[in-house]
């Protein structure tokens, strides 16, 4: 028994640890120490996961942070945790916003405009991941991934554009995913009604992947429209990260079955937040806009972006949320 542990189990565990450490070295870390004192940062979904770790690091850098969250109680709990670990952090404020409700987003933006006429950094981090067979929709009737991950942030960002311009040089950081490369956008089926009728079982979620591709297109078009305004737009893949995003699809036995894979490939929320933090703070990115980033470096997407689709998606999105394109 002891010989089995010594010659089989221990070497395997050591191998796993070494591979994990090697992979961690390839993930990169935000190494700048740029201060954000006097800067106002708004982060959606800042109460947990990548959003929380981003907020914690930006609080350490003396930023004034707005926790834009659906659940105020959880936002306040997150702020209390940060205050307990960072003694000299600046003001943090929790404000309620429901990205699945366009009316709520408008009310939230109106409150922001009254209290914060200038916003230095907007981080569009919040998102949902749900099985398509649940047929979940937003309060306005949009397919949940399209409505929250894309349209919700699309409307919010557009409503806060003037705030960002007043604070120039300022930034918009859009959290996408490498899964955008497997996403497909059909302008005639943005709510996936046709796709769901012909849906086949798959490990991939086409609704989520499509929304991450929409994030990427949104970032590119937003950068084009804001050229010369002093507002830079950065789109980010945080990497395969262990957060609560997949809580509605992961069963208890998945944790056992995929524990080795998770150990080798999944980042912690703190590790996943690094490129988001980097895009929000890196001084050399001032004046750079419209790029996609991964591992704290520019990333060349495998997607052959279509400029006509990009413009059309913007125009349709504007119409759906009640904005002028």
Which CATH number do you get for residue 303? 3.40.50.720
User: Would you say residue 134 lies in a domain?
Assistant: yes
pLDDT in tens, the chain (325 residues): 555 545 544 454 554 444 545 455 566 889 999 999 999 999 999 999 999 999 999 999 999 999 999 999 999 999 999 999 998 899 999 999 999 999 999 999 999 999 999 999 999 999 999 999 899 999 999 999 999 999 999 999 999 999 999 999 999 999 999 999 999 999 999 999 999 988 776 667 999 999 999 999 999 999 999 999 999 999 999 977 665 545 544 444 444 445 455 544 566 889 999 999 999 999 999 999 999 999 999 999 999 999 999 999 999 999 999 998 6
- DSSP, res 45: T
Which residues have CB under 8 Å from 52's CB, separation 6+? 46, 78, 269
pTM of the model: 0.88
User: Would you say residue 23 lies in a domain?
Assistant: no
Residue 12 CA to residue 18 CA, distance in Å, equals 10
User: Would you say residue 22 lies in a domain?
Assistant: no
User: Would you say residue 3 lies in a domain?
Assistant: no
Residues annotated as catalytic are 208
User: Would you say residue 301 lies in a domain?
Assistant: yes
Q: Which long-range contacts (CB under 8 A, 24 or more apart) does 302-307 make?
A: 302/181, 303/180, 303/181, 303/213, 303/216, 305/216, 305/217, 305/220
Tokens at 223, concatenated: 């950068």
Range of the domain at 76: 38-320
- DSSP, res 148: I
């Amino acid at each position: 028994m002891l010989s089995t542990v010594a010659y089989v189990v221990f070497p395997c565990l050591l191998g796993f640890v070494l591979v994990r450490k090697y992979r961690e070295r390839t993930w990169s870390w935000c190494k700048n120490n740029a201060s954000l004192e006097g800067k106002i940062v708004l982060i959606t979904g800042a109460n947990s996961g990548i959003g929380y770790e981003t907020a914690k690091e930006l609080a350490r850098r003396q930023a004034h942070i707005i926790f834009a969250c659906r659940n105020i109680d959880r936002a306040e709990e997150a702020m209390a945790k940060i205050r307990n670990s960072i003694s000299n952090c600046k003001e943090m404020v929790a404000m309620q916003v429901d990205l699945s409700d366009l009316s709520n987003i408008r009310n939230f933006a109106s409150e922001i405009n009254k209290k914060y006429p200038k916003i230095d950094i907007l981080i569009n981090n919040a998102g949902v991941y749900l099985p398509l067979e649940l047929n979940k929709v937003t309060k306005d009737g949009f397919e949940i991934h399209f409505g929250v991950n894309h349209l919700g942030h699309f409307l919010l960002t557009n409503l806060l554009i003037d705030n960002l311009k007043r604070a120039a040089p300022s930034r918009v950081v859009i959290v996408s995913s490498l899964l955008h490369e497997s996403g497909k956008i059909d302008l005639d089926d943005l709510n996936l009604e046709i796709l769901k009728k012909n849906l086949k079982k798959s490990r991939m979620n086409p609704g989520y992947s499509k929304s991450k591709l929409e994030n990427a297109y949104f970032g590119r078009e937003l950068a084009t429209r804001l050229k010369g305004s002093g507002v830079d737009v950065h789109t980010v893949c945080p990497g395969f990260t262990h957060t609560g995003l997949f809580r509605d699809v992961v069963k208890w036995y998945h944790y056992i079955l995929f524990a080795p894979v998770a150990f080798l490939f999944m980042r912690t929320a703190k590790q996943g937040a690094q490129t988001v933090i980097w895009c929000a703070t890196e001084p050399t990115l001032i004046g750079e806009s419209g790029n996609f980033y991964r591992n704290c470096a520019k990333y060349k997407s495998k997607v052959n972006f279509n400029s006509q689709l990009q413009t059309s998606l913007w125009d349709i999105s504007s119409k759906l949320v009640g904005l002028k394109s």
